[in-house]
Amino acid sequence: MSRFFIRVITNGAALYALAGLLAGFSLEGGWRNLLIGALVLAFLNSFVKPILKLIFKPLIWITLGFFNIVINMGLLWTADQVLPQLAIADLKTLFFSSIIIALANLF
């Protein structure tokens, strides 16, 4: 349970940083929307991502791990579709923001 809590905090920090760093990434509202976005991302990364990594394990092996970026982009796109307060403008912003969130989830 504490690992999930740490993941929520790191995802919240990453979302807050992305809203300030990338022009095409916006998270409207205050700290409550930030917390909701962090919870959704933590849920997706904790429960959905391991299943996707198991399903796409051959592609991950063939691409030497670069398919993990596609999985992270898919999870962030899913969060964008679920959360009305989160807006990602284009594919370039989605790519860079998924890399930053993946780096935040390493810790």
* Distance of alpha carbon 88 from alpha carbon 46, whole angstroms: 22
The structure's pTM equals 0.90
pLDDT tens readout for residues 33-80: 999 999 999 999 999 999 999 999 999 999 999 999 999 999 999 999
